[in-house]
Chain A
Amino acid sequence: MSQSPHLLTPGQSSMGKTAIVAKGLQKRFKTGRTYIEVLKSVDFDALHGDVTMVMGPSGSGKSTLVACLSGLLRPDEGRVKAMDQDLWSLPSGRIDKFRLDNCGFIFQGFNLFPALTALQQVTTVLKYQGYDVAEARRMAMVALDEVGLGHRVNQRPSELSGGEKQRVAIARALAKQPRLLFADEPTSALDGENGQIVTRLLQRAAKEHGAAVICVTHDHRMESFADRVIHIEDGRILDDRRVTSQPAPAAADRPLIGA
């Protein structure tokens, strides 16, 4: 996997900075006549350059939390400040634009269009971001190279293995150089080896590109790649543990002393 210098530069300057802060998130769903409270006043934050894992039992509200943080699901109460914008105060068109500019997603399912080649899956989104055909193609090639699929860019999903499909989905999410990368159980449909490849890719997105990676998982093998592990149970955060030291802000980010 080749290094891609153009992706490195913008990321590192923001290493260690806060990417997203949520305060007092509440979400409840109506089921029949009663409401179930899925998020009960959750406070959350994530830093650029960190892989933040969200773990917890099934039904504890992990996916709901990610949906609220990423602008996909409006919380009933609370605020999300992402990339210095008060996310849920924006009109819905601006929230779309916010996601287009800043967010990458990796889901458990790969959600690739059957008709498109790996390259087209990636360029489709880039074109909506406003890149012209040649530029989108160049960026997509870089991203596919990075996930180790540089030689399979013309394959359609039906000709790719599960792990390869997930890597295409990751390339699709990474090609737009997101500052926020959300993943919901990205490895649960994959075997150990492919799971590890995917985990490493998420880590690289954080370490080399300075993205804030927020990853929901059941997979304890992924834990060893985390900078921070947050445990959530029954809609509350039980435990927030930093595993590695806080990422050091890059040189460019420090105040210039005596210059």
Chain B
Amino acid sequence: MSLALATLLYEWRRYLAAIIALAFSGLLVLAQVGMFTGIGKAFTATIDRSPADIMVLGPKAESLMNGGNGLPRRVMAQMYMHPEVVEVADLDGGGGMWSNDPPPGKKRVREWIQTSAVDTRSDAVTWPRDYNENIRVALLEPYSVAIDRTGMAKLGIQKLGDRASINGKTVYIRYILDGYPNMMQPTVVVSRDTLRLLGQASTGSRVGPLMVRIKDPARAEAVRDQLNATSDKAYRAWTRAELSEANDGAMMKESFIGIMLGFSVFLGLLIGVGITSQTLRGAILANIKEFASLRALGVSMGSLRMIVIELGFWTGVAGLAATAVLVGVVAQLAKMGGLPMSFPIPMVIASAGFLMLIAIASGLLALGILKKSQPADLLR
């Protein structure tokens, strides 16, 4: 075992401050990544779990979140021109002011919501794969709605069967969903008929994103390419996997999130390097006479520097382990709070690299302290 690793293990208390600082730097960054990706995933849960093989967005869309302002309605018909296309449906929805029917003595809840329509056939291309028959039966009833468990409190709903209104039209809660968490604006799922009854179905010349099912799902990429070849810049077709990936990244590209994340990275770097380098300096200073005795015996300054950098490295490894624990706990808590986090592998790798960078940089900053290892001072 190397001197650096042995020292870190034996005197771990001395390094605890650095390890905790690193763990919090890691948490600061990763928790945000996890939260924003989680939010992004929640926004697109319906799409990720849709049976559609291909989705069609506006020509300039970069993801579902910056999807532009829809497509000309004629594109729907155009899709059917392709011989392999079996079914085409548009994602329809609207929004409005929700208010509940408060129990006696409680204040009325008023909340802006989004509505999202599904076709109530279990083989419909808009019908999420994890929706069951009970949901279908529940939504068949006019004016019935489904909300996610995480939206209940915000929407002032206690139980199934509660009454509420959207833009003044009375609706009934007929199903409580799981796994479709609401982040900012709660989403209310309705049948396409109910959407029409609420007066929110699109009737104009433009429609929302299209969901397309084809004969052989394995041919999705080929069909996408063929569809795009004849798009004439009116639309862009995506495979579901391709769009899902774009959605993951889209949140991070939102400018305010980018700024927040950048600021956190900067703050984490500052705090991490500050505390870690000071801790390393203190720990090395505590053993400075031992280092000096190595110098006396002829070990070069370069070799001592390597020991310090290696100490930084192992502190980083310990910090990574502590980060994993902390992030795990926070993610668990968030999940219990109905806000599942999600950690895309590239972001996790980048964060781990970021922590190691902090640790090694701290080691480099702590090098100066070795000047105090004057072997002549041992002779007094």
Contacts and interface: CB of A to CB of B under 8 A. Distances in A.
Interface in B247-306: 287, 289-290, 292-301, 303
B178 interface: no
A100 interface: yes
A172 B297 contact: yes
Interface in B1-60: 1, 3, 6-7, 9-11
Interface residues of B, number: 26
Interface string B90-125: 000000000000000000000000000000000000
Contacts of A70: 296
Among B6, B9, B298, the most chain A Cβ lie within 10 Å of the Cβ of: B298
B298 A103 contact: yes
Contacts of A225: none
Nearest to B378: A107
A166 B290 CA distance: 13
Dominant secondary structure at the B interface? helix
A108 B377 CA distance: 11
Interface in A62-115: 63-64, 66-67, 70, 72-73, 93, 96-101, 103-105, 107-109, 111-115
Contacts of B11: 114-115
B298 A72 contact: no
Given A96-B300, A111-B378, A156 B10 contact: yes
Interface string B362-380: 0000000000000110111
Contact of B290 (A64, A99, A112, A176): A112
A107 B293 CA distance: 9
A125 interface: yes
A173 interface: yes
A249 B1 CA distance: 43
Given A111-B293, A184-B379, A99 B10 contact: no
Among A73, A93, A96, A169, the most chain B Cβ lie within 10 Å of the Cβ of: A96
Given A109-B378, A184-B379, A125 B299 contact: yes
When A and B form their complex, which 7 residue pairs have the shortest distance between CB atoms, in order from nearest? A100-B298, A115-B10, A99-B298, A111-B293, A63-B379, A115-B7, A73-B376
Interface of A: 63-64, 66-67, 70, 72-73, 93, 96-101, 103-105, 107-109, 111-116, 120, 124-125, 128-129, 156, 169, 172-173, 176, 184
Given A98-B298, A124-B3, 19 more contacts: A63-B380, A64-B379, A72-B375, A96-B299, A99-B296, A100-B298, A105-B375, A107-B296, A108-B380, A109-B289, A109-B378, A111-B378, A114-B7, A115-B3, A120-B6, A125-B298, A128-B298, A173-B297, A184-B379
